[in-house]
């Protein structure tokens, strides 16, 4: 048996209500596509998954870059998952996906105890959203930098006008300095006589 199907079936072992929801779609097949990885499963009458080679009734696709965000926040299913095929099965899987955090928390609670298990699950969720958060922050920073720098940038015509004004001012300062020097020289020569 496929490890993914075995893990799902083991998780659903205690969740009769979830198996019942899946059993309503017995005989249907679903293919999961995450980037180049593909896995197809058939749903049996007990609501368990088994590997399948048949043409899928439903194909669910998610980008590998968006998978961590989906695992952290399954409520974003409609935004992150593309469903092609059986809409009723897709709706059931989307509904069951919302319970994924509960299954993970229960698994960690069984392994580490209720308090530590909850904390480990919380840390896991935060780590899963970290890449998306970092990308958002970097994107915001770049956009802010470009916006700020665009206000500092000067068009070429304005830069030439500014350079001409600076050169003219430098000439006037030089002329003023020459006059001051002449005045100082004249007053110094008047004292010696």
- How deeply is 108 buried, as exposed, middle or buried, from its count of CB atoms within 10 A (0-12, 13-18, 19+)? buried
> Between vectors from CA 78 to CA 73 and to CA 81, what angle results, nearest 5°?
85
Farthest CA pair distance, the chain: 123
pTM confidence score: 0.59
Q: For the chain, which residues make up each domain, given as ranges?
A: 3-98, 155-193
How far apart CA 143 and CA 129 sit, in angstroms, is 21
| Architecture in CATH of 3-98 | 2-Layer Sandwich (3.30)
pLDDT for res 177: 77
pLDDT score for 49: 93
Strands 49-51 and 37-43 come out as antiparallel
C-alpha distance across the termini of the chain, in Å? 116
Q: What is the pLDDT of residue 108?
A: 65
Instruction: At 14, list the tokens.
Output: 């205690």
The pLDDT tens digits along the chain (193 residues) read 578 788 888 888 888 898 999 999 999 999 999 989 999 999 999 999 999 988 999 999 999 888 888 888 888 899 999 999 999 999 999 998 888 766 667 666 677 787 877 777 677 766 666 766 676 777 778 777 777 766 666 677 777 888 788 878 877 887 887 788 788 777 666 655 5
CB 96 within 8 A of CB 74: no
């Amino acid at each position: 048996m496929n490890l993914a199907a075995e893990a799902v079936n083991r998780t659903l072992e205690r969740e009769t209500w979830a198996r019942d929801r899946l059993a309503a779609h017995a005989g249907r097949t679903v293919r999961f596509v995450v980037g180049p990885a593909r896995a197809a499963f058939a749903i049996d009458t007990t609501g368990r998954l088994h590997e399948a080679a048949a043409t899928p009734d439903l194909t669910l696709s998610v980008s590998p870059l968006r998978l961590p965000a989906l695992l952290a926040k399954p409520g974003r299913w409609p935004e992150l998952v593309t469903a092609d095929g059986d809409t009723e099965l897709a709706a059931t899987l989307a509904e069951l996906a919302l319970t994924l955090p509960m299954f993970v928390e229960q698994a960690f609670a069984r392994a580490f105890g209720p308090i530590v298990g909850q904390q480990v699950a919380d840390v896991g969720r935060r780590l899963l959203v970290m890449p998306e958060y970092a990308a958002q922050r970097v994107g915001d920073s770049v956009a802010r930098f470009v916006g700020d720098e665009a206000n500092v940038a000067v068009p070429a015509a304005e830069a030439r006008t500014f350079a001409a004004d600076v050169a003219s001012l430098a000439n006037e300062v030089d002329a003023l300095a020459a006059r001051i020097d002449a005045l100082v020289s004249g007053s110094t020569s008047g004292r010696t006589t």
